[in-house]
Chain A
Amino acid sequence: MHIPDGYLSPSTCAVGYAVAIPTWAIASKRVSKVVKTRNVPMLAVFSALSFLVMMFNVPIPDGTTAHAVGGAVIAICLGPWAAVIAVSVALLFQALLFGDGGVLSYGVNVVNMAIILPFVGYGIYRLIAGRTPLTSGRRVVAAAIGGYVGINAAALAAAVEFGIQPDLFKSADGTPLYSPYHLSQTIPAMAIPHLTIAGLVEAVMSAAIVAYLQRADVSRLVPSHPGIPLTEADRAPRPARTLAPARVALGFVVLMVVLSPLGLLAPGGAFGEDNPNDLNLNKLGLHAVPAGLDKYNGFWSHTLLGGYGFSSGDHADLGYILSALIGIVVVGVAILLIGLVMRAVLGRRDADREREQEPQRLG
C-alpha cells in the first residue's frame, strides 16, 4: 500500500500534505499535553517500534508470509494521536532509506496508513471493546476487527486516490498521465487482497499483541486506556451514556461519506432520475409514464445548484463538489434537528414520568 512517486499527480500529493501537516500539528500538541517532556523519547522509541513491526513476517496458513502495518495496534497501545506520529516517522524511514513509498506521495501515504488506519482501527476497537476490563477476551476480538477494518479503510482510501487519477489528469488525446485505472478497477483490485490476506495479517498481528500484553504485562495498556478497570472485579458501575444528537448526526454523515464510493460500483441509476420519458416503459410493463410522475416532474425548478452545478454551467467540477458538500451539510443538519426534536420530546416524557413517580416515592 506504500504509494511510490509517479502514480499520483503532484496536486493529489499536495492535498495529502495539506491533510497530513495540520494532523501532525494537532497530534504533537495532544501528545505533548498528555506526556509532557516524556513525549520525545516515547515517540522516538515507538516510531522505531512501529518501523520494526512493519518488518515482522506474519505466517499465514498457506505457508507464505506477509507484513502488517500495525497502525491499529500501535493506536491501541499508545492512543491514536501518538500512533499518527510513530507511524509517520516509520513511513519516513521507509521512504528515505529504503525507497518504499515516495517522497512527494509521502503525505498521501501518511493520510492512508498513519491517519486513517490508526483512527479507524482504534475507533472500531473502542466501539467493540466498550468498557470491558483490560483483561477481557472481547478486547482481543476488538483489536483483531479494528486492525482488519482499519487496513481495509486505508486500502479503500488508496484505491480512491488511484482511481480518480485517470479522470482528472489526462492529455489532450486521452492518455492517462498517472495511474491509468478507474475507480471501478482500483477499488476491487485493492479490496480483494486487503479483505483476504492483508486484513487477516493485520487482524492476527493486532490480536496477538493485545493478547500477549494481557497475559504478560497488562500494565502497559493502562496509560492508553484511562478509566478502564483492569479486571472484572475492579469495574465500577457507570451511568448509561445517552446519544447526543450532534454525535449521531456526525456519525451518520461520516458513515454515508465513507460508503458513498459504493455508488460508483453500482450499475444503473435511480428510477427515472433525469427524465421520466427516458424510462423503458415496455420493460416495466407500463403503457405510459405514470400520471403523478408526469405531473410533478419539473414542478420545482428554482433550485440553488440545478443539475449539481452553477446555473451558468461554468466550473462544472467545482459546482459538483460544492453541491456534494452542501448536500452533506444539509443532511447532517436535518439529522441533528430530528435528534434535537426527539430529545426534547423524549426528555419531556421522561420528566413527566418522573413527576408522576415522585409522590409515590415520597409516600
Chain B
Amino acid sequence: MAEHTTTTTPSWLLSSNVGLCPCGCIGKRTKGSFVEKTLTGGSDLLRQVMFSDDLARRSGLLQRLDPRAKLGGMLLLLIGAGLAHHLETLLATYVVVLALAGASRVPLGFFLKRVWLFVPIFTLIVVLPATLSIVTHGDVVVELWSWHGQPQGLTAQGLRSAALVVSRVAVSISLVVLVTVTTPWNRLLAGLRGLGVPRMFILVIGMAYRYIFLLLDSVTDMYEARKARTMARVKHDRTARAFVGASAGALVGKANQLSEEVHQAMVARGYRGEARVLDTLRLRRADLVALAVAVLATALMLTADRMLGR
C-alpha cells in the first residue's frame, strides 16, 4: 500500500533513525537515559502528528465527512460498545471498524499497530489473573489446583469477562483512532465546537496545540545541548533530577513570558475577551446520512446484544 500513497512528509523522517539508534545497536545494550528518552518522546510526538496529518489529507470515506457527524457517530458507537455485554457484538463491531478504516485508506498494518500497541495488550496482561477462580468466582472450566477439596482454576465467567474487557478496549480505541487520524486537527476542533464545547475552551485548546510544538522545540534544544555536553554515560543521580527540574522550571518561565507576549499581541489586534470564528460548518446530506447510519448501527448493535441474552 505504501507505494500508492501521496505522503507529503518524507518517509525517511517517519522511520526511526538507524544511525542514532537509542538502544545502542552495536555493542552492549543499555537502557536509554532520561535524556535520550525525552528526546525520542519528542520526536515520536512530531512523527505521529505528521503522519496523522498525512492520513487526514487522503481522500477516503471518512475524510470526506463533516467532523461533527464523525464525532457524533464515534460517541454513539463508543457508548454502544460500552453497553454491549457480548463478545460477538464487539467482534462484529470491530470488523465494521476495520472495513471503515480500509474504506478511508488507512493502512491496515499501521492501524492495527497503533490500536493494539500498547493499551489492549497491557489490558490483556492486567485481566489475566482475573480469569482465575480466586478473583472471579464461577464455574471452573480448567482445573489448576484444588483448595479444601474445591476445584480452583480458570472460570468460564473469568475468561468471558477478560475477553469482553480486552475486546471492548480494542474496539473503543479503534473508533477513536479511526476518527482522529482521518480528521485534520482544526476540523476536529470545529467538530468539538459543533458538539457544544464552549468557544473559549475551543480557543484555548486550539492555541495550546499550536504552542505545544513551540515549547517542544525549547525542550528539545535544552536536552540536545545537555546530550552534547555529556561525555560519559548519563547518570540517574541528583544532578540528573535537578536538570529535569531546572528544564521544566525554565519551561514554566518561558511559558509565562510567552503567554504575556501572546496576550499583548492579541489585544493589539483587537481581542476583547471574546472568541469569534470565521468558518461556519454546514452539514451536507452525506453527513446526515452518515449520522443516521451511526444511529442505526448503534441501535442494531444494542438490539442484537439484548437478543443474545442478558
Contact = CB atoms under 8 A, between A and B. Distances in A.
The prevalent SS among residues of A at the interface is helix
B165 A178 contact: yes
A47 B251 contact: no
B195 to A, nearest CB: 11
Contact of A41 (B185, B250, B259): B259
Task: Identify which of B78, B138, B198, B206 gathers the most chain A CB atoms within 10 Å of its CB.
Answer: B78
B249 to A, nearest CB: 3
A48 B208 contact: yes
Given A174-B138, A180-B136, A42 B209 contact: no
22 contacts: A5-B78, A5-B81, A6-B171, A7-B123, A10-B83, A39-B200, A44-B203, A44-B206, A45-B258, A59-B237, A62-B236, A97-B48, A102-B173, A103-B75, A104-B75, A166-B136, A174-B157, A176-B161, A208-B245, A208-B246, A210-B249, A220-B256
Nearest to A173: B157
Nearest to A206: B245
B244 A179 contact: no
Nearest to B206: A44
Given A44-B207, A58-B241, A77-B252, A5 B41 contact: no
Contact of B212 (A52, A62, A63, A182): A52
Given A104-B75, A177-B164, A208-B242, 15 more contacts: A37-B273, A39-B273, A45-B215, A48-B255, A53-B248, A55-B41, A55-B42, A58-B34, A61-B237, A64-B31, A104-B78, A177-B85, A177-B161, A204-B245, A212-B249
B172 A44 contact: no
Interface in A112-136: none
Interface stretch (A87-95, A271-279, A308-316): A87-95
Interface in A196-212: 204-205, 207-212
B137 A209 contact: no
Contact of A180 (B32, B79, B165): B165
A48 B215 contact: yes
A302 interface: no
B203 A59 contact: no
Nearest to A55: B41
A93 B207 CA distance: 12
Given A45-B258, A47-B204, A60 B236 contact: yes
A80 to B, nearest CB: 16
B198 to A, nearest CB: 8
Contacts of B259: 38, 41-42, 44-46
Contacts of B245: 204-205, 207-209, 211-212
Contacts of B248: 53, 56, 70, 205, 208-209, 212
Contacts of A36: 273
Contacts of B209: 48, 93
Nearest to A59: B236
Interface of B: 31-34, 37-38, 41-42, 45, 48-49, 52, 74-75, 78-79, 81-83, 85, 114-115, 119, 123, 127, 130, 135-138, 156-158, 160-162, 164-165, 168-173, 176-177, 180, 185, 188, 198, 200-201, 203-212, 214-216, 219, 236-237, 240-242, 244-253, 255-256, 258-260, 262-263, 266-267, 271-273, 275, 309-310
B216 to A, nearest CB: 6
Contact of A57 (B34, B85, B130, B214): B34
A28 B201 CA distance: 9
B252 A213 contact: yes
A28 B202 CA distance: 13
Contact of B208 (A38, A44, A65): A44
A213 B48 CA distance: 32
A60 B248 CA distance: 16
B52 to A, nearest CB: 7
Contact of B250 (A6, A70, A185, A212): A212
A172 interface: yes
Contact of A5 (B138, B176, B240): B176
A95 B79 CA distance: 16
B38 A6 contact: no
A99 interface: yes
Contacts of A7: 123, 165, 169
B244 A93 contact: no
Contact of A46 (B34, B114, B255, B273): B255
A40 interface: yes
Contacts of A177: 85, 161, 164
Top 6 nearest A-B pairs (CB, nearest first) are A208-B245, A212-B249, A5-B172, A44-B207, A6-B169, A59-B236
A209 to B, nearest CB: 5
Task: Identify which of A28, A53, A56, A60 gathers the most chain B CB atoms within 10 Å of its CB.
Answer: A56
